[in-house]
């Protein structure tokens, strides 16, 4: 991939598979709306300058807008931009720069760098072309990639299993949400576009690593406030499933870790006092109860809400998890497991294996060997 521009889909694939560093010279507001995980925002125009030039363009046309841009590029502004760009180019000499369409902003940045002795390639078509490429890859992979959906009841360790297996796409990790009413993370979710970009790039990289199935966790249409793209939903709804099992003890331990301890550790770092952290934890859990109040029923919702302060006090004062264990057991038996059993009954014909963590790993290794062997001998993918 040589020269001053990336011009083909093959180049884009190489860029994303190899996590090439990207210098995004769009304005911060554009970057916040959607970006790539391997991009750093070093804008040529700040938000106010971009708005100013946009107004001039709308009123007086391109030439006037260019003139206004040159006027705003004072020696101090240019020196500031150049300092950041040169530092980035020296730190990431194998990187590329782009603006929204690969137009005036990125070409200006490239020209300024060339005048400073740095030949830094730009991406023709810019962010818009790369985003279009990723959406095309999403459609291609959804139609051609071999997915195995990992299903299982709440807290059986589906995410742990995906990370252990490796050849998988962690949708909840990309969404920064665990997928259930209690799955909100202490910090915020990414934008919809950032979620999609990161997920598609991850999928491209896993697909490029070689043939074989790619694991993905069973999810509903929404992960928190983020939508699963329609092509991915369709592929997941048709893919075979493997079912993960875990003991009641392991599920309780995982609920303690993922839904309480993780959030508490975050709040203790974020809040100025321990009292504030424990109060945030209480409000967070109560908010989760409130989100599923209709499904719980009024009486059960009130009962869990009454149990919560005592559970928090026991954990805080004595490191005693028994109060939360009572809550978790009720949630699992009266809410989550009933919901899961219904879903299982609707999708039983798609299940190809059921087992605990190590059993499933062993089965997948054998499945992968069979898959690779059949491709090797037939020259085509197994059905």
* CA dist., res. 24 & res. 254, Å (int): 39
Decide if 326 contacts 307 (C-beta within 8 A): yes
- Reference 78, options 47, 105, 112; nearest CA is 112
DSSP letter at 179? S
Contacts of 221 (CB under 8 A, 6+ apart): 227, 228, 233
Q: Any bridge partners for residue 175, and if so which?
A: none
Q: Point out the catalytic residue in the list 44, 99, 232, 252.
A: 99
Decide if 130 contacts 38 (C-beta within 8 A): no
DSSP letter at 176? T
- Reference 279, options 288, 268, 289; nearest CA is 268
Write the burial class of residue 123 (CB in 10 Å: 0-12 exposed, 13-18 middle, 19+ buried): buried
Q: Any bridge partners for residue 22, and if so which?
A: 39, 96
- 346 token code pair: 């609707």
Q: Is 99 a catalytic residue?
A: yes
- Reference 347, options 144, 150, 139; nearest CA is 150
* Residues assigned a catalytic role: 99
């Amino acid at each position: 991939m040589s020269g001053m521009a990336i011009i083909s889909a093959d180049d884009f694939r190489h860029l994303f598979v190899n996590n090439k560093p990207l210098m995004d010279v769009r304005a911060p507001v554009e970057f916040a709306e959607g970006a790539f995980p391997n991009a750093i925002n070093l804008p040529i125009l700040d938000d106010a300058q971009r708005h100013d030039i946009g107004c001039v363009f709308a009123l007086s046309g391109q030439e006037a807008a260019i003139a206004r841009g040159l006027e705003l590029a004072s020696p101090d502004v240019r020196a500031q931009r150049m300092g950041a760009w040169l530092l980035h180019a020296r730190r990431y000499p194998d990187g590329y720069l782009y603006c929204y369409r690969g137009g005036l902003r990125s070409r200006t940045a490239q020209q300024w760098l060339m005048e400073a002795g740095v030949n830094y390639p730009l991406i023709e078509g810019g962010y818009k072309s790369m985003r279009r490429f990723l959406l095309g890859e999403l459609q291609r992979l959804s139609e051609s990639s071999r997915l195995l959906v990992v299903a299982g009841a709440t807290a059986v360790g589906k995410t742990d299993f995906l990370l252990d297996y490796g050849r998988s796409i962690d949708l909840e990790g990309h969404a920064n949400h665990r997928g259930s009413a209690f799955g909100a993370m202490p910090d915020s979710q990414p934008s919809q576009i950032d979620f999609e970009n990161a997920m598609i790039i991850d999928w491209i990289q896993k697909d490029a690593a070689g043939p074989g199935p790619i694991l993905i966790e069973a999810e509903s249409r929404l992960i928190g406030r983020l939508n699963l793209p329609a092509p991915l939903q369709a592929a997941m709804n048709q893919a075979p499933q493997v079912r993960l099992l875990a003991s009641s003890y392991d599920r309780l331990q995982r609920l303690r870790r993922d839904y309480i301890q993780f959030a508490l550790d975050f709040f203790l770092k974020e809040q100025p006092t321990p009292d504030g952290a424990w109060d945030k934890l209480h409000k967070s859990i109560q908010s989760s109860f409130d989100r599923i109040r209709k499904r719980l029923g009024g009486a059960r919702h009130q009962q869990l809400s009454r149990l919560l302060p005592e559970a928090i006090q026991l954990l805080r004062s004595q490191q005693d998890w028994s109060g939360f264990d009572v809550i978790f057991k009720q949630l699992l038996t009266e809410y989550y497991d009933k919901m899961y059993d219904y879903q299982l009954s609707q999708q039983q014909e798609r299940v190809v294996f059921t087992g605990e963590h190590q059993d499933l790993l062993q089965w997948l290794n054998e499945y992968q060997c069979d898959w690779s062997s059949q491709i090797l001998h037939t020259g085509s993918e197994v059905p």
